Amino acid sequence: MDTCRIPPNASKCSGSTMECFMVLSTQAQKISIGILCGLFGTMCIFENSLVLYLIFSSPGTRKKPSYLFIGSLALADILASIIFVCSFVNFHVFNEAGFSKEVFLLQLGGVNTSFSASLSSLLLTALDRWISISRPSEYKLLMTRKRAWTALAVLWVTCATIACLPLLGWNCCVLDSTCSELFPFVDDNYLSGWICFIVVLLGCIVYAYAHVLWRAHQHVAYMEKHQAQAGKQNTRMRMDVMLAKTLVMVLAVLMLCWSPVLVLMIYSIFSRLSDRLRKVFAFCSTLCLLNSMVNPIIYALRSKELFSSLRRVFSHFRRRLKAAEESPEAESTHKSSVIET
């Protein structure tokens, strides 16, 4: 079967070349992508919505900056799932290419904003843990709710601005420059800059977590040495160590899921991609949904506060369900007793 090859120049900007980016050639590939996106996307939206509910329904968690950052991560994952699934399935499975350049770049900007905000939220969470462990006596003064909300506002505005640069004019159609082999209308220089931005974020996160783990290791050694002193300080240290380990697990999953995509993006800048690699990129892109789906599971298993909130929600739901099942019987018993009277 002949494939559509696109030269790396501005001629890619014509509407007829949109089909050249539809790399799924068989019905089986399209069905597989559709099933993966539908399953991962649905689970991701449900799980992250539950995390947001657990965080903001409990006064104890919604007041803590660390959980505000986790809430920002959950919100980013929800938005990424909705925008990614709708645009990706519409383009690759249903082969819809009738939308304009602006609509496509707007969808791509939404996905990039969500992913960048997800990484940035992890970075803020890492900094929050670093301050909590390295300067515990000053933590409440340094990390206030007002500063946390301000940091989140700056985070989302910055990520949205960077992601929308192609829509604002930094694209290969306006600049008459080399286009990306992976994304229609996207300038190769912009893609290189965005990848550098993501790599810098990942580097900062890894550095912050390395320091957090080092301090957590020191705290574990301290607690083992002073087991008899079971006080509030030890309890706080155990919570910091637990949350630090949780966030490292989140980061590990993030790296495993996004490394294939980032590697192929970088490779596409320096070399031409074969049709097979472009198909591999399409399937690897669904791993971002898997990452967003796994994160809430890690929170529920590792965070005692969220797990306790989840148990309370389930207990409340079971009580209401039990009451709803017993109410008709109670009403029937009441009516029979009235008749007998």
* 161, pLDDT greater than 50: yes
The answer on pLDDT for 51 being more than 60 is yes
Per the model's pLDDT, the better-predicted residue between 152 and 210 turns out to be: 152
Q: Quote the distance between the C-alpha of residue 178 and its chain's center.
A: 30
- Are the CB atoms for 123 and 211 separated by under 8 Å? no
The pLDDT value recorded for residue 220 is 65
Exposed/middle/buried for residue 191 (C-beta within 10 Å: 0-12, 13-18, 19+): buried
In 10 A of CB 256, how many CB atoms? Answer: 13
More confident residue, 190 or 311: 190
Does residue 117 contact residue 155 with C-beta atoms inside 8 Å? yes
Residue 117: predicted pLDDT? 92
Query: Please, which pLDDT band fits residue 147 given cuts at 50, 70 and 90?
Result: very high
pLDDT tens, position by position, 225-279: 666 554 555 555 566 566 667 767 777 887 888 889 999 999 988 888 888 898 8
Across the range 208-226, mean pLDDT stands at 72
pLDDT score of 312 more than 50: yes
176: left (phi over 0), alpha (psi -120 to 50) or beta: left
Q: How confident is the model at residue 196 (pLDDT cuts 50, 70, 90)?
A: very high
More confident residue, 282 or 330: 282
pLDDT value for 140: 86
The predicted pLDDT at position 25 comes to 80
Which pLDDT does position 132 carry in this prediction?
83
* pLDDT value, residue 330: 47
Mean pLDDT of the chain: 81
Between residues 208 and 248, which one has the greater pLDDT? 208
Q: Tokens for 165?
A: 């640069």
Task: Tell me the mean pLDDT in the region 111-134.
Answer: 87
| Predicted pLDDT of residue 148 | 92
Output phi, psi for 169, to 5 deg. 135, -15
Domains and CATH numbers, the chain: 24-305 (1.20.1070.10)
Closest-CA residue to 123 (of 61, 76, 162, 62): 76
pLDDT of the residue at 1 = 39
Q: What is the spatial distance between Cα 41 and Cα 54, in angstroms, rounded to a whole number?
A: 20
What is the CA 97 to chain-centroid distance, rounded?
A: 27
The values of phi and psi at residue 186, to 5°, are -85, 130
Instruction: Return the pLDDT at 122.
Output: 84
Average pLDDT over residues 93-103: 79
> Sorting pLDDT into bands at 50, 70 and 90, what band is 164?
very high
Residue by residue, DSSP assigns 154-190 as HHHHHHHHHHTHHHHT-BHHHHT-PBPSSSTTBBHHH
Predicted confidence band of residue 160 (pLDDT cuts 50, 70, 90): very high
Q: What percent of the chain has pLDDT over 70?
A: 81
